[in-house]
């Protein structure tokens, strides 16, 4: 679907942007790929990895998603948008709330307005488990962003830009995640690995899987869906044992705004959640959305079914937990 098309990636110099770009260049023949971000040094480094001399379809645009006019210029002629730009550090959000509001909420609205203005075909916004029943400022801004993107479908009507959301948990090996954090401690000769809570669990997805899921979601979407992949969970204590079996662990306490378990499909939205073979879809409230879409059959003709009324998709209640050996194999294959 991306052949001879123009793809725009906000926050494109991040972990997801690198992997998504690799997949686009390997599997498709896009007319143009626009990497949009505000850090010129990260763009410089990315151009070293993906030199324009070898990839003439690449364009690097400096800009901030807080700047609507810059987005309108950058999105000229764009067919598909992946919105990956966000401020994400949970403790930083608690201390600098308005900066997160300006980027994660106002920036989301700017992406929507620019996409509509330039008649983009489809937009997918990347979300996080922290947006489901949020307890921290970061999660609250991402929930607001998700709601804004889904509601944008009401603005454009049947023939306008389609907006959907993809929500998933921790990405193995991504910058800022626990795996590189533990790895750096181990390499520095630490005497213990810090565990915030002994009961802590997390959803787990590889970077490659997250990119494949986003691409599949573009093919599946009609507009208005929140796509959630079915992925395994890990116990953080098992992760520590897998990475450093001889090291002791130390309970250091939960950081501000941190959850013990992750949640991606709240029970309160069970009546709007559909179970597909490898993912869930949360569809918009019927009272606030055009009934033109049958969300139980997607654009790939895959059929889903309603979940039970007591359904909840959380990392501690997940049926699929990775063993210590499985974590070792996953780490070796995808990170180290």
Which residues have CB under 8 Å from 43's CB, separation 6+? 13, 35, 37, 60, 62
- Whether residue 289 is predicted with pLDDT greater than 80 in this model: the reply is no
Q: What is the mean pLDDT of residues 258-277?
A: 94
CB 170 within 8 A of CB 131: no
Two tokens, residue 289: 């959305």
In percent, the amount of the chain with pLDDT more than 70 equals 95
* 38, 102, 172, 130 alpha-carbon torsion, rounded to 10°: -170
Tell me how long the chain is. 336
CB count within 10 Å of CB 299 equals 12
Between 192 and 335, the more confident residue is: 192
Spell out the domain ranges in the chain.
Answer: 6-170+204-230+265-314
Two tokens, residue 90: 């949970």
Q: What is the pLDDT of residue 178?
A: 82
- Architecture of domain 6-170+204-230+265-314 in CATH? 3-Layer(aba) Sandwich (3.40)
- pLDDT band of residue 165 (cuts 50, 70, 90) is very high
Which has the closest alpha carbon to 234: 173, 318, 167, 177?
A: 318
- Whether residue 333 is predicted with pLDDT greater than 50 in this model: the reply is no
* Catalytic pick among 130, 216, 230, 235: 130
Q: What is the pLDDT of residue 180?
A: 81
- Whether residue 188 is predicted with pLDDT greater than 50 in this model: the reply is yes
Q: What is the pLDDT of residue 327?
A: 87
Q: Which residues of 11-37 are buried (b: 16+ CB within 10 A; e: fewer)?
A: bbbbbbbbbbbebbbeebebebbbbbb
- Whether residue 11 is predicted with pLDDT greater than 50 in this model: the reply is yes
User: CA 298, 312, 258: angle at the middle one, nearest 5?
Assistant: 110
- Whether residue 135 is predicted with pLDDT greater than 80 in this model: the reply is yes
Rounded to whole angstroms, how far apart are CA atoms 132 and 165? Answer: 13
Per-residue pLDDT tens for 40-53? 999 999 999 999 99
- Whether residue 86 is predicted with pLDDT greater than 90 in this model: the reply is yes
- Whether residue 291 is predicted with pLDDT greater than 70 in this model: the reply is no
- Whether residue 176 is predicted with pLDDT greater than 80 in this model: the reply is no
CB count within 10 Å of CB 177 equals 17
Pairing of strands 32-37, 122-128: unpaired
pTM of the entire structure? 0.93
- Whether residue 287 is predicted with pLDDT greater than 70 in this model: the reply is no
Pairing of strands 58-62, 32-37: parallel
CB count within 10 Å of CB 98 equals 9
In percent, the amount of the chain with pLDDT more than 90 equals 80
CB 239 within 8 A of CB 178: yes
Between 175 and 301, the more confident residue is: 301
Q: Is 130 a catalytic residue?
A: yes
Q: What is the mean pLDDT of residues 246-254?
A: 90
Q: What is the mean pLDDT of residues 9-20?
A: 95
């Amino acid at each position: 679907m991306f052949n001879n098309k123009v793809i725009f990636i906000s926050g494109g110099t991040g972990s997801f942007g690198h992997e998504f770009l690799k997949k686009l260049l390997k599997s498709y023949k896009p007319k143009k790929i626009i990497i949009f971000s505000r850090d010129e040094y990260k763009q410089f480094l990315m151009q070293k990895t993906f030199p324009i001399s070898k990839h003439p379809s690449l364009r690097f645009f400096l800009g901030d998603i807080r700047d609507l006019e810059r987005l309108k210029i950058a999105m000229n002629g764009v067919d598909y948008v992946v919105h990956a730009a966000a401020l994400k550090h949970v403790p930083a959000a608690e201390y600098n709330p308005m900066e997160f509001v300006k980027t994660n909420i106002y920036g989301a609205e700017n992406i929507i307005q620019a996409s509509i203005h330039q008649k983009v075909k489809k937009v997918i916004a990347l979300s996080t488990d922290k947006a489901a029943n949020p307890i921290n400022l970061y999660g609250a801004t991402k929930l607001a962003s998700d709601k804004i993107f889904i509601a944008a479908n009401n603005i454009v009507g049947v023939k306008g830009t389609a907006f959907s959301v993809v929500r998933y948990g921790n990405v193995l090996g991504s910058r800022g995640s626990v795996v590189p954090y533990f790895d750096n401690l181990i390499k520095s000769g630490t005497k213990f690995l810090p565990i915030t809570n002994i009961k802590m669990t997390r959803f787990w997805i590889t970077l490659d899987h997250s990119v494949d899921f986003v691409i599949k979601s573009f093919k599946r979407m009609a507009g208005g869906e929140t796509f959630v992949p079915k992925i395994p969970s890990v116990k953080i204590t098992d992760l520590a044992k897998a990475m450093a079996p001889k090291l002791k662990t130390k309970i250091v306490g939960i950081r501000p705004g941190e959850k013990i378990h992750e949640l991606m499909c709240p029970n309160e939205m069970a009546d709007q959640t559909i179970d597909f073979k490898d993912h869930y879809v949360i569809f918009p409230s019927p009272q606030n959305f055009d009934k033109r879409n049958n969300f139980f059959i997607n654009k790939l003709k895959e059929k889903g079914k309603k979940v039970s009324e007591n359904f909840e998709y959380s990392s501690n209640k997940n049926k699929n937990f990775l063993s210590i050996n499985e974590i070792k194999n996953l780490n070796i294959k995808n990170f180290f």
